[in-house]
Amino acid sequence: MTAHEIDYQIYGEEMQFVEIELDPEEGVIAEAGSFMMMDDGINMETIFGDGSQKDSGFLGKILGAGKRILTGESLFMTAFYNTVIGKRKVSFASPYPGKIVPIDLSQFGGKFICQKDAFLCAAKGVSVGIEFSKKLGRGLFGGEGFIMQKLEGDGMAFVHAGGTMAKKELRAGETLRVDTGCIVGFDQTVNYDIEFIGGIKNTVFGGEGLFFAKLQGPGTVYIQSLPFSRLAGRVLASAPRSGGSSKGEGSILGGIGDLLDGDNKF
């Protein structure tokens, strides 16, 4: 194996975290901000890109880090190494309610494609790159962007699915239509495209956007019920207006109550 062989255990229900057990000199890479806790003897190091190409030289490291800019991620990742004799553990937490999905890349032909914000952590040696769409329509109408992340190697990787996670096994030629934001990831044998919903009523009054993703098998697809963009939109919609009051929230009066409490002036 080129990637480090790690052991792991996932804890929790709604807000999960994954605990990774490292043997001496084993390591794991993670996105900035996902770290939760670690045992004494774990050394933390900030690296360019994913650090999977040690002999690529300075230019190679710059190019690898530059790929992450295209996906909207930081130039840097964090690597954690066990530097002592004996097993040590390091844990990484979900960014918001959902499920952590373990992906054994050796069972996916060495490659798994996922949303750019789904990746959580992986064994050292796993390459975290970008997957360009070959069709212009995905880039123009994909909703979540046509650049997705690809995880390559033969080790373990962990992605996060918001809300409840659904795993679909598509047969050859079988098609699944999904909201673009609800895709967590899929293996390289799945054909991915963007499809127009169609119909004037659907377009104007549907409220589901103009396009959805069309996934065609064979292959495995992971779907999430709560994309972060949808969660953020609901939070922003429920936030009190600047200078306003939230006293009437949940009452029959609603906004009228805000007028009566004296905070609003004409």
Give the chain's radius of gyration (CA, Å): 22
Residue 71 neighbours by CB distance under 10 Å: 18
State mean pLDDT over 218-240.
82
Q: Which CATH number fits the domain 7-236, given the four candidates 3.40.50.300, 3.30.1360.10, 1.10.238.10, 3.60.160.10?
A: 3.60.160.10
- Per residue in 52-64, pLDDT tens? 655 455 555 555 5
Please give the Cα distance from 192 to 21 (Å, whole number). 35
pTM across the whole model:
0.78
Spell out the residues 6+ positions from residue 190 whose beta carbon is closer than 8 angstroms to its own.
113, 170, 215, 216, 217, 218, 219, 220, 221
Contact call for residues 243 and 205 (beta carbons, < 8 A): no
Q: pLDDT value at position 49?
A: 67
pLDDT exceeds cutoff 70 at 219: yes
- 216 compared with 76, residue with greater pLDDT: 216
What does pLDDT average to over the chain? 78
- Per residue in 232-266, pLDDT tens? 767 777 777 655 555 445 444 454 445 444 445 44
- Per residue in 124-183, pLDDT tens? 989 888 886 655 455 444 444 457 888 999 999 999 999 999 999 999 999 999 888 889
